[in-house]
Amino acid sequence: MIRSWSNQQADSGSVHCFGNGNFLIYAQGPNLSQVEGPPYSMPSFCSLAIGCKPAQAVMSESQREKGANIWTHRISGEVQAQFTDYMLPDKNLFFRDYSVSAPLTLTVHEGPETAKRVYRDFAFGGMRRDCLMIRMPMGTNFFTSIAVEQETWLILTVEGGAVTEEGHLLLENSGRLLLSAGLLPDAVSQMEEALGLKPAQAQGLVRHYWKDFLSGITDLGASLPADEVPEKLRERVSQACESVAVVIKCQQSSSGGEQAGYPYPLAYVRDMAGTMRGMLSLGMQEEARKILEFWYSRFCLFGNVHNAEGMGNFGGRLYFPNDEVEVPAYLIVSAFWYADKTGDWGLLDEIYPMLKWAFEIQLPQLGGGMTSFSGDETYIAGGTLPRVLMYDGSAESTLLFIEGGLRFLDWCRTNKKISAAELERYEKMVVDAKARYKENFCVDGLLYANNPARLNYIKKPAFARGFCEVHDTLQHQLVLGWLMYDEKSGYYCCPECYGKKHPDPVDRKKRHQLSSASLLPAFYESTIFAAGELERIASPYIELFAKNGFVPSNAEGNRSLGYDYGLFLYAMSMLKHSLRVPALAAMLEVLDETGAWVEYYDNKKPFNCRCRPWESAINIDAIRKLTESFQ
C-alpha cells in the first residue's frame, strides 16, 4: 500500500508509527508528527516537517517495507529526495537515512513546555557534532494534568547536513538524521553508539528484529478458502495481519500497557481488552500476557485499576464516573479469554486478587439487574449516546458483568477460591442479572443499548469526576473536573453551571439502538441468546448493511465506531450468514494506506484518531472468526 502526501492539498490524515516499548514516534507521510518517550506516557517533544514555501509543490509516496517496520518516502516536486526511516528495537534511537537533490530543511516545532537549544561541536565520546537538544522538564503537565516524572531529553543531529541557528535541520546531498531520547546521560551515550553504527548495520539490526517477530504472526489470509473468498481479499487480509501486528507491537510499552493512539498517551482498559483479542488471533501470546501483567502491576500499586493507566508514569491515571463498572468487567472477561486461548491458567492464580476485586466492585452498582455505562464509554465519547444517559442500565456493561462473573465464579468453585456461602450469594446476583437481561434490554427481539429504568433502583451520587454534562450537551465542549449533581436540572455540573436553569434537549426516556452494543453478545459468544435470537438482534444492521454497505453505530446516524465493521463480520461469521464475505470486503475497504483501522468513520470516511490498536485488533479477531466459520 502506498501512502500519498502533498503540501498542496488536504491530507488523508493516515498515521504510521515507530516504537520499541520506550521510544514512540508517530508520522504522517514524511513528517514526524509526535516524538514521545521514554516512557510512552509522555507529551511530545516536537514535530518535524518538510519546510518549504506554500508555492513550492512537494509530494511524497510512502511505503512500509514488507517484513519490517522500515518506511521509505520518495519525495518529488520542487526537490527530489528519498528518506528511509527506522527505529532500533533495543535503544531509543531513530534514524532517517536520506538523499536529496537540493538542500531541504526539516522544521522542528518543539512542544509548548519544552526548551530547545543548539549546541555546537558537542562531544559524543570521541566524536563531536553540532546538535539540537530539547529538554522536557520534570513536572510538565500533559493530557489531563498528568505530570512528567523525570526530566527527559531529545537529541537531534544530522550527518551530511547542518543544524541551523534557528534550531532546524538542513539536509544536503546524502546522509542521515539521528534522534536519541532519554535521561540526559542515556541520550548522549546512545547518540555516541548511533554515530558509530553504519546505516547498513543499523538497518540490519532492525530487519533482523522484525523478521523474527513477524515470523510468529498468524497469516489469517492463508486460512481463508479460495473457493469462498476472492484472491484479492485473501491477499489484503494477509497484508492486514502484518500491518496490524506492527501497529500493535509498536504501541505496546515495555510495561505491557498499550497506547490507545497518538492523542491518548495512556493505556486504556477497554482498548487493551479488544487489542488482546487481536493479539491472540495473530499469535502474539507473549504480548497478550503482558497486558494482564500490566493491569495487575497497577492493581498492586493502587488496589484498583482505573479507566486508563500510565505507562512508565506511575502517577498517571485517568478516572471517570462509573469506573466501577465495565472497566473491571473487562479485566475479568479478558483474563478468561486469554486463559481459554493459551492454556495459561496459572496466570489467573497469580492475578486472583485483582480478579476478585474486579468482580466485587461491580456488585454495589447493580440496579434492577443492570450496571451502568462507564463515564468514558466509547458511545458517549464518540457522541452516539448522550452523556446524560450515563446512569441508565447499559446492555454492554451488564453483559460483561454476567459473562465475566459466571466464568469467574465457576473457576472459583473449581479451584476453591471462596467459601460456599460467599459463592452462593454472588451466584444469586449474577444469575438474577442474567435472568432479567432480555426483559431489561430487549424489545420485540431487538437489543437496546440503554434502559432508563435502572434509575428507579439507584440514587445518583452527589459528586462525580468527569466532563460537565451542560457544557457537553449544550455547547459541545469538554470541561473536565469535579462535578456536582444538580437535581433541579438533572445535570452533573461544573461550578460554573451548577444551580442555573438549563434547557434539556435530550429525551431521557428514549431507548437507543446501537450496533456496537447489539452485536456484542455474538462477539463475546454469550450464553444468553440462541443463534436465532442473535440473528433477530442483528437484523436491523443486516438491512442497513445491505442498503448502505456499512453499519452505523447508531441506527439513526451515519457514524460507525471503527470496530463496528469487525463486530458485524463476527456476528455474520457466527451465524454463517451469506453476508460474511461482503462484510469482510467492506471492512477491508476502509483499511487505510498504512494498514490500520481508525477510531471512527463518518459515511465510511476516517475521523479522529488513526493508527488505532483497538479497532484494528478487533477487526482482525473478526477475520479469525470468519476463518473458523468455513471449517
Per the prediction, the chain carries an average pLDDT of 96
Answer with the one of 213, 243, 269 that is the final residue of a domain.
213
Question: 91 in a domain, yes or no?
Answer: yes
Residues 34 and 168 in one domain: yes
Res. 556: pLDDT tops 80: no
Q: Are residues 439 and 296 in contact, defined by beta-carbon separation less than 8 angstroms?
A: no
Nearest to 450 by CA among 524, 503, 396: 396
- Higher per-residue confidence, 78 vs 15: 15
Question: 240 in a domain, yes or no?
Answer: no
Residues 381 and 307 in one domain: no
What are 147's three cell numbers?
505530570
Q: Which pLDDT score, from 0 to 100, does residue 1 have?
A: 87
Q: Which pLDDT score, from 0 to 100, does residue 559 have?
A: 87
Determine what percent of the chain is predicted with pLDDT higher than 90.
91
Res. 142 pLDDT band, cuts 50 70 90: very high
Q: Tell me whether strands 46-51 and 115-124 are parallel, antiparallel or unpaired.
A: unpaired
Residues 292 and 406 in one domain: no
Determine what percent of the chain is predicted with pLDDT higher than 70.
100
Answer with the one of 268, 291, 319 that is the final residue of a domain.
319
Residues in the chain: 631
Res. 19: pLDDT tops 90: yes
Query: In 10 A of CB 414, how many CB atoms?
Result: 8
Return the minimum-mean-pLDDT range out of 289-298, 315-324, 582-591, 620-629: 315-324
C-alpha of 489 from chain center: 35
Answer with the one of 283, 303, 319 that is the final residue of a domain.
319
Question: 172 in a domain, yes or no?
Answer: yes
Question: 346 in a domain, yes or no?
Answer: yes
What separation in angstroms does the CA of 29 have from each of 54, 63, 107, 246?
Answer: 18, 9, 15, 17
Residues 89 and 173 in one domain: yes
Residues 299 and 311 in one domain: yes
Residues 179 and 308 in one domain: no
Question: Which domain range does residue 271 map to?
Answer: 251-319
Residues 44 and 132 in one domain: yes
Q: What is the pTM of this model?
A: 0.96
Residues 303 and 387 in one domain: no
423-467 pLDDT tens trace: 999 999 999 999 999 999 999 999 999 999 999 999 999 999 999
Question: 64 in a domain, yes or no?
Answer: yes
385-425 pLDDT tens trace: 899 999 999 999 999 999 999 999 999 999 999 999 999 99
What's the rounded Cα separation, in Å, for the pair 170 and 465? 47
Nearest to 524 by CA among 362, 345, 395: 395
Question: 143 in a domain, yes or no?
Answer: yes
